[in-house]
Chains A and B, each alone.
Chain A
Amino acid sequence: AQTVTQSQPEMSVQEAETVTLSCTYDTSENNYYLFWYKQPPSRQMILVIRQEAYKQQNATENRFSVNFQKAAKSFSLKISDSQLGDTAMYFCAFRPTGGGSNYKLTFGKGTLLTVNP
């Protein structure tokens, strides 16, 4: 079974600053996907960024980038130039590749990020 741990229940950052959210996971799988999802207050969860475990290059999406350390089973999210609209709950999630029950996502408990003006 997989587990995902987000050790920071809450974080805050000043607008325009950079913040890093931490995530660690435990798995015996060798091939998998990792995701960061954003859930704004009372709004739907949206995918921020994803990383395939077989890729050594860290994924980037505009102001969002990850630091993927496979050996350490670490997957942190860096948000640059933070904006007020980045205020949300952020969830780290894991999914093995392949079929069968590997389609389900395992989520961490989330980190509530507040961007202050």
Chain B
Amino acid sequence: DTGVSQDPRHKITKRGQNVTFRCDPISEHNRLYWYRQTLGQGPEFLTYFQNEAQLEKSRLLSDRFSAERPKGSFSTLEIQRTEQGDSAMYLCASSAWDRDYGYTFGSGTRLTVV
């Protein structure tokens, strides 16, 4: 297990289409986070899972966004009816319960909505 994997690395989609991103955390990490990073900004929190339970969602996560983490393993983030404002880097991170002060980040999925 070499780290947090995200797929795809890049996604270009037309406005109005649905997209889904996948994150595979480090296997022994029970906590998983999604962040969004727009150009010139720091990452902003979207949502957080502990095992399979989604414990918190940011107000940034509109009704068009949904995230799941079935069986507490990988996670998916789906955006429905994409808008140009959704263009951003979507970062996934994970952490272990006993060392949760630091995250391990994935390389991110860069979404471009045209």
Tell me, yes or no, whether A binds B.
yes
Please list the residues of chain A having a beta carbon within 8 angstroms of any beta carbon in chain B: 4, 33, 35, 37, 43-47, 50, 52, 91, 93, 95, 97, 100-101, 103-110
Given contacts A109-B40, A109-B41, A109-B42, contact A104 B48 (CB under 8 A): yes
Report yes or no: A105 in contact with B107, Cβ–Cβ below 8 A.
no
Provide the B13-56 mask, 1 if CB < 8 A to any CB of A, else 0: 00000000000000000010101000011111100100000011
A-B contacts besides A35-B102, A101-B55, 18 pairs, CB < 8 Å: A4-B42, A44-B3, A47-B104, A52-B101, A91-B42, A91-B43, A95-B101, A97-B101, A103-B95, A104-B48, A105-B33, A105-B43, A106-B45, A107-B42, A109-B41, A109-B42, A110-B40, A110-B42
Closest to B44 in A: A107
Quick one: which of B42, B103, B104, B107 contacts A43, CB cutoff 8 A? B107
Report yes or no: A46 in contact with B105, Cβ–Cβ below 8 A.
yes
A-B CB proximity, top 3 nearest: A107-B42, A45-B105, A44-B107
* Residues of B close to A103: CB separation below 8 A: 31, 33, 48, 95, 100
Q: Can you offer 27 A-B residue contacts whose CB atoms are under 8 A?
A: A4-B42, A43-B107, A44-B3, A44-B106, A44-B107, A44-B108, A45-B91, A45-B105, A46-B105, A47-B102, A47-B104, A50-B101, A52-B101, A91-B42, A93-B42, A95-B101, A100-B55, A103-B33, A103-B48, A104-B45, A105-B33, A106-B45, A107-B42, A107-B44, A108-B42, A110-B41, A110-B42
Report yes or no: B106 in contact with A105, Cβ–Cβ below 8 A.
no
* Residues of A close to B40: CB separation below 8 A: 109-110
